[in-house]
Structure formats: structure tokens, C-alpha cells
Amino acid sequence: MTTEPPAVQAFAHTGKFFNVFGLALKNAGLTILTLTLYRFWARTSMRRRIWSRAWVMGDPFEYTGAGLELFRGFLISLVFFFIPATFVLYIAPLVMEPTSAAWLTFGFYVILVPLIAAARYWMRRYQLSRTRWRGIRLGLAGSAWGFAAASWGWWFLQQLSLGWYTPVARINRARLMWNNTRFGDQPFEFIDDGQSPTHGLWLPFALGWFGFAISFFVSFLIAGFVIAIMAQYGIMTPTDESGLANQWLPFVMGVIVILTTVVLAYAFWAPYRAAAMNRIASLISLDGARFKLRVKTVPFLLIQMSGWAIFALSLGLLAPIAGYMQVRYITNRLEIIGTPRFADINQPVIAAPGAGESLADAFDLDLGVGMI
């Protein structure tokens, strides 16, 4: 007697680059004309388009958020974050005694870590509450401040361990987030598959950790080589016409070192990012159905770096393009193994937030496109 393997359903994203690019250009133009005020409605229109192109089991997702909700969230963050931050960073150094102002600034950066964690939780809660599939709304229970407090503790352990607690911290954050996530009244579960939750993460993490130091060293070699080539062709010489040292030489070398270090370090960390995403997906379950993600290091790295190049060249105005490229790649490599009992799932009892993402807008945690 044989047992049939569980059904495997692939997610698919049918969005087209130039379709999204056209909307991003329109949104960027209106954002500039309205002195950035339109960005809340720009985010909403982009999310509706990207959500509606994501499919699974023959049905697309639906985004029901509104620009006015994001605007209300921004007003909340204006009162509780932007105005205090402006005082601490710009006004306090001018009106307060230097030592007091320095301690105030230090305290601000200390609370910034849990604040960003809380912002990420509020963002996820809002976006899930405005996401529907087959008419069923998703949701996020739990406390944002509880998540922030736990994240601060894990961040502190990361600092004490010189970063080596990072894989454990990432898994802990994912566990807390997904155990509070709901599809209707059905909870997601972060399961124990019999292996360590950080299985497969330590080797790529070590590559990233040691790769950062290697990146810094190699960047000086590359900078020296580039300067030598420029000097050979007369583009930039070590001395000017009067024989004095070229004042631009340290600046140019510093720029080359910084950019090269960032690119190389980002590349060294790419295997860990891919491994962590795949591992977290494999531990998520919905009514017994499991998920599988097949992110490959090099393709995803190229997509991310292309997105960051678009972000930099457009001064952030086309950031949603970078987000869309990542969402499309991840969606097309996601599968659900097994079939949840959708007929038994009802609408959630979790109340949906009335305002938008508040602080998430301040930190731009999702490149303007939603959950990535």
C-alpha cells in the first residue's frame, strides 16, 4: 500500500518589469510635484499592482490598503518620532550643554534599535491586515513592544558576541513573527523539524563575517591599482603641476575603498542571506502544509545589486523597482507542500489597525512595495 506524496503548489508572480516601471515613473513624478505628499498613495497603487500579480492555487492576492491610512500613520510618526528626532539631533546640540546633548543623542540611538523593531512589526501587522486571498484576510497578533524588547535583547547579544549570535537572533525574530501570524483564524506555526533551527547557516555566516575583513583589505589593493592606472594615463597624478601632493588623491582613494568594501562585503554576505531565507521558509507551516523556498545566492545577489543601483541612480525615487524585482524573484521560487483545509478557515478575530505603518515610513523598511 503506497501513500501519495502531498500536493506541491507553486507560487507565481506574473508582474512585468515595464508595467511596474511605468507606474513607478508616474508615482515619482507626482511625488516630486506634491513635494513628497503623494508618496502614500504611490505606495498603495504600487502594492495593489504587485499583490494582484502574485498567484497561488489559481487565485491572486489582493491588497486593500488606502493612501489615507498611510498618511494617518505618518502623522502619528511625525508627532512621536520626527519632531523628537529633530530636537535631539539638530536643536539640542545648539541649545544644551555639550555633554548633556551628547548623552541625549546617545540615548536616542540606544532606543532606535527597539524602535526599528517595533516599526517592522507595525508595518507587517498593517500589511497583513490589508492582504486577502480568496476573500480571507491575514493578520498579526502579539505586541509590537514585546517584539521590540525581545529584539533589543537579541541585538545586545549580537554585540557581545561580535555578531556571532546573529543567526540565532534572526531565527528567533522569525519564530516570534510567524507564530503570531494568522490566515483568517488559522495560525501559522514555526515548527521543529528535528534539526537545529540554525541548521545550514553557520558556514555561510562565517564566510560573511570573515569576508568583511577580507573586503576591507582587498579594497585597498583595488584602489591602489585604479589610482595607478589613472596616473599612467594622466587622469590623476600623485602631484600637481607645482610638485605638491594632489589634494584630490585621498578623497578619490577613500571613495573607491568605501564603495569597493561595501560591494565586496555585500557579496560575501549573500550566501548567508539566501540560506537564512530558505531555512526560515522551511520551518513555516499552515494547517500542516509546509513551505519551501529556493533562493539561489548569485541570481538573488545580482537582482539586489541591480535594485540598489536603480535606487542610487534615481535618488530613491524608483525604489519600488528594486523591491518589485526582489518580490518577483522570491515569489517565483516559493512552494507550498500540502493543502490546508481552506473550507474550515474563517475570517480572523484580530482587529485590523486603522492607521498605516507609522515609523516604517520613516525608516523605509520595505522599499515602498510591501513585505520583502
pLDDT in tens, 263-313: 999 999 999 999 999 999 999 999 999 999 999 999 999 999 999 999 889
Q: Is 3 within a domain?
A: no
CA 262 – CA 256 distance, rounded (Å): 10
Which residue segment(s) compose the domain that 234 sits in? Answer: 194-282
- Whether 307 and 209 map to the same domain: the answer is no
Task: Give the pLDDT confidence of 198-210 residue by residue, as tens digits.
Answer: 999 999 999 999 9
Residues 65, 213, single domain; the answer is no
In DSSP notation, 44-110 reads HHHHHHHHHTEEETTEEEEE---HHHHHHHHHHHIIIIIHHHHIIIIIHHHHS-HHHHHHHHHHHHH
Residue at which a domain ends, from 216, 248, 282: 282
Q: 289 in the Ramachandran plot: left (φ > 0), alpha (ψ -120 to 50) or beta?
A: beta
**Statement to judge: residues 45 and 109 lie in one domain:** yes
Q: Model pTM greater than 0.85?
A: yes
Tell whether 277 and 292 lie within a shared domain. no
In a domain, 368, yes or no: no
Task: Output the CA angle 164-166-172, nearest 5 degrees.
Answer: 135
d(CA 102, CA 338): 56
Asked if 24 and 66 sit in the same domain, the reply is yes
Does one domain contain both 198 and 267?
Answer: yes
Beta strands in 202-288 (DSSP E): 284-286
pLDDT of residue 370: 67
What distance in Å separates the CA atoms of residue 65 and residue 68, rounded to the nearest whole number?
Answer: 9
How far out from the chain centre does Cα 117 lie? Answer: 12
* Distance (Å, whole) CA 17 – CA 24: 10
pLDDT at residue 360, rounded to an integer: 67
* Average pLDDT of every residue of the chain: 89
**DSSP code at position 244:** P
| Strands across the sheet containing 334-337 | 8-10, 334-337, 289-293, 284-286, 186-190, 181-183, 136-140, 131-133, 59-63, 54-56, 12-13
Distances (CA, A) of 102 to 92, 132, 139: 9, 47, 41
**Does residue 276 sit in the same domain as residue 290?**
no
* DSSP code for 339: -
Written as nine digits, the cell of 90 is: 539638530
Torsion of CA 15, 16, 21, 24, to 10 degrees: -20
pLDDT tens series, the chain, 372 aa: 555 677 899 999 999 999 999 999 999 999 999 998 999 999 999 999 999 999 999 999 999 999 999 999 888 888 888 888 889 888 988 888 888 889 898 888 888 888 889 988 999 999 999 999 999 999 999 999 999 999 999 999 999 999 999 999 999 999 999 999 999 999 999 999 999 999 999 999 999 999 988 998 999 999 888 888 887 777 767 666 665 666 777 888 888 899 999 999 999 999 999 999 999 999 999 999 999 999 999 999 999 999 999 988 998 889 999 999 999 999 999 999 999 988 888 888 787 787 777 666 666 666 667 665
Handedness of CA 98, 99, 100, 106 (dihedral sign): positive
Q: Which residues of 229-257 are buried (b: 16+ CB within 10 A; e: fewer)?
A: eeeeeeeeeeeeeeeeeeeebeebbeebb
The x, y and z cell numbers of residue 280, run together, are 526560515
Domain edge (last residue) among 282, 309, 326: 282
**pLDDT for the residue 130:** 93
- Running DSSP on this structure, what letter comes out for residue 122? H
Q: CA distances (Å), 170 to each of 70, 149, 197, 277, in order? A: 28, 14, 10, 10
Count up the domains in the chain and report the number.
2
Of 214, 249, 282, which residue is a domain's last?
282
Is residue 170 domain-shared with residue 238, that is, in the same domain? no
Predicted pLDDT at 181 = 95
**Nearest alpha-carbon partner for 331 in 7, 61, 22:** 61
